[in-house]
Amino acid sequence: MSMEMQDLHTKTDQYRSISLDIEGQTYRATLFSTCHDPLFSDVGCSSIFQQRAYHAVLEATPPGQMSFWYVRLEHEDHLVGLLSFQVKNFNPGESLKNQINGNLVRAARYKAASLINLSVLCLGNTLVTGDYGFCFQPGVSDKLQTELMMGTIDWMLTLKDFKHIGLVFVKDFFHDIFRDLPESPHCKTYHKIDTQPNMIMEIPDTWGNLDGYLASLKSKYRVRAKKALKEASHIERVELNADEIEAIEGHLHQLYLKVVEDVGFNLFILAKGYFTQLKRAFGDKFRLWVYKDKGEVISFFTVFEDGDTLDAHFLGYDPEINHQYKLYMNMLLTMIDMAARKGFSELQLSRTATEIKSSVGAEGVEMWAYMRHPKRSLNWLIPKAYNFFKPDLEWVPRDPFNEAASAGT
């Protein structure tokens, strides 16, 4: 693949574009900085997280001064695909500080990480787990998709707006994107990184509701689930509309921050107002429930209804109250009940808390992600630095379903 490494401006000089020559065909990549631009297209995109409406919410409530860029890809003036990028300043120490817990090795790791400040260019969405950083039209091969993505990033790194980038992060894929390009120089440039799996739970249509799910469990897991339900039997669960969310968004944000503080690694902090904006944009496709104890909101969770998938989004609770009432377990059971009742084929629970998600029936699906340094002379350090700073990823998969249920899935 060769590239004409010179900006090709439109007549209005509004956009920056480049020609990418791949296997005898010329593709045009055009850069712009807002989803409200007429060049943005979600035609052919299957997920909410690829739609203009979702990107508009992110732009309106950016997490921690995150900025957004998009690239439209065309061939002979026909849309080929759209790439979505996020740029975010990143300090590994801030993300690792909650892992210390009196451990001297972790304390040393945190201290070293705190000295690093860099800007990250991410192809993908750091807020969700999944392949939402791109949307290609039908018929575009996986190989061509990879070449277009890599060529676009190479070009962007030559532009003034991205000269400050210290790390390129490409996420998430359900397969190795370089599998069809073994001789590509990008195979050596990009380093595959270990991440927690995407926890996905298949929902058989035979369940119908939570009772059907509970009947499919082995005895000890069914007893555990029923005990959790009993612990929270006095807790009131209420779904909120947009105005109700807005009225208590500050409190919801504080509950969300309590969960963030308890997580070992975090790339961002949501902005206040994010949940209200989502509800106003998506209506019944985005749902938020709160749990109340004697009228006081003690936890909440959110989900997207995304095609055949019920996608768990962000939540919040006080860890001490969570332990007392098994709130997290109850929220997972509520999501399972909702997915079964509404006929979703799967419940996507994303990363983190892998063992408890596995204990309710979710299976870990490997996701592929890659990193590189823009400077070739420093790129060899990336895997070493990542292995030094990465959080603990080990977990023990569970098998909660009885043999009859397993045979039926």
Same domain assignment for residues 247 and 150: no
Under DSSP, is residue 325 helix (H, G, I), strand (E, B) or coil? helix
Same domain assignment for residues 146 and 19: yes
Same domain assignment for residues 53 and 95: yes
The string of pLDDT tens digits covering residues 398-408 is 999 997 665 55
Same domain assignment for residues 354 and 217: yes
Same domain assignment for residues 185 and 291: no
Angstrom CA distances, 287 to 81, 281, 311, 312, 324, stand at 30, 11, 10, 10, 25
Under DSSP, is residue 12 helix (H, G, I), strand (E, B) or coil? coil
Same domain assignment for residues 136 and 150: yes
Tell me whether residue 67 is in a domain: yes
Task: Give the CATH number, domain containing residue 183.
Answer: 3.40.630
Cβ burial, residue 294 (10 Å; 0-12/13-18/19+): exposed
Give the pTM: 0.90
Tell me whether residue 383 is in a domain: no
For residue 87, which amino acid is it? V
Residue 113 confidence (pLDDT) = 64
Say how far residue 43 (Cα) sits from the centre of its chain.
21
Tell me whether residue 104 is in a domain: yes
Same domain assignment for residues 181 and 247: no
Is the CB of residue 277 less than 8 Å from the CB of residue 48? no
Same domain assignment for residues 284 and 355: yes
Number of domains observed in the structure of the chain = 2
Give the containing element (helix H, strand E) for 59: helix 52-60
Say how far apart CA 136 and CA 14 lie, in whole Å.
Answer: 24
Say how far residue 248 (Cα) sits from the centre of its chain.
25
Same domain assignment for residues 155 and 235: no
- For 153, the domain range is 2-195+367-374
Tell me whether residue 404 is in a domain: yes
Same domain assignment for residues 183 and 255: no
Task: Give the CATH number, domain containing residue 208.
Answer: 3.40.630.30
The tens place of each residue's pLDDT in the chain, 409 residues long, gives 544 434 433 433 478 999 999 989 999 999 999 999 999 999 989 999 999 999 999 999 999 889 999 999 999 999 999 999 999 988 766 665 555 555 666 666 666 666 677 899 999 999 999 999 999 999 999 999 999 999 999 999 999 999 999 999 999 999 999 999 988 999 889 999 988 899 999 999 999 999 999 999 999 999 999 999 999 999 999 999 999 999 999 999 999 999 988 765 677 899 999 999 999 999 999 999 999 999 999 999 999 999 999 999 999 998 889 999 999 999 999 999 999 999 999 999 998 888 999 999 999 999 999 999 999 999 999 888 888 777 666 788 899 999 766 555 5
The string of pLDDT tens digits covering residues 87-124 is 998 876 666 555 555 566 666 666 666 667 789 999 99
Tell me whether residue 330 is in a domain: yes
Same domain assignment for residues 191 and 306: no
Residue 396 confidence (pLDDT) = 86
Tell me whether residue 381 is in a domain: no
Tell me whether residue 116 is in a domain: yes
Tell me whether residue 391 is in a domain: no
Q: Which two tokens stand for residue 265?
A: 């690694």
Same domain assignment for residues 190 and 215: no
